[in-house]
């Protein structure tokens, strides 16, 4: 039969200091100099902590651009697969990209039939060529 190891917290029951010397040594963050990096300045002959040697440790750096537009692309092949569910008007399958949540039309895949894409923010060259060859219409947002 193997002996089980007792938990450390159980081993210290009945011990006043729980194996850490004087009680004064374990009091709050004041014992270690403060919270965070407190006490890291010059003191006599002590060495500086290693994080002070890191170039960009202190302060804020860089900037956050808030002017980026989010591009949500979609390929032509997606509309070829789902053209049965699209409304038809004057012989064209009508697709409103903005209402579907897309901003850019990409050229992967091929289309059979005429499509009319409205509210298109951006379009790839390849997609434009394929749609022109097919006789489809694209209404770009200006």
CATH of the domain at 90: 3.100.10.10
The domain of 133 spans 73-140
Residue 37: CB atoms within 10 A of its CB come to: 13
Neighbours of 40 (CB within 10 A): 14
> How would residue 56 be classed by pLDDT, with cut points 50, 70 and 90?
confident
Confidence of residue 124 (pLDDT cuts 50, 70, 90): very high
**65 within some domain:** no
Mean per-residue pLDDT of the chain: 85
Question: Between the CA atoms of 14, 20, 22 and 25, what dihedral angle is there, to the nearest 10 degrees?
Answer: -130
In a domain, 89, yes or no: yes
Residue 98: inside a domain: yes
State yes or no: pLDDT of 47 exceeds 70: no
pLDDT of 23 higher than 90: no
More confident call, 53 vs 20:
20
Mean pLDDT of the region 8-14: 89
Domain contains 127:
yes
Domain count, the chain: 1
pTM: 0.53
Let me know if residue 88 belongs to a domain. yes
């Amino acid at each position: 039969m193997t002996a089980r190891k007792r938990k450390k917290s159980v081993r210290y029951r009945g011990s006043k200091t729980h194996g850490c010397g004087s009680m004064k040594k374990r009091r709050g963050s004041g014992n270690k100099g403060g919270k965070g990096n407190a006490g890291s300045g010059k003191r006599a002959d002590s060495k500086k902590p290693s994080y002070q040697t890191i170039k960009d440790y202190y302060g804020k750096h860089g900037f956050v651009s808030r002017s980026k537009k989010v591009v949500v692309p979609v390929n032509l092949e997606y509309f070829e697969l789902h053209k049965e569910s699209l409304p038809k008007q004057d012989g064209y399958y009508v697709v409103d990209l903005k209402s579907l949540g897309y901003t850019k039309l990409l050229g992967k895949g091929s289309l059979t039939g005429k499509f009319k894409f409205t509210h298109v923010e951006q379009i790839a060259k390849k997609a434009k060529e394929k749609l022109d060859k097919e006789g489809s219409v694209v209404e770009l947002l200006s």
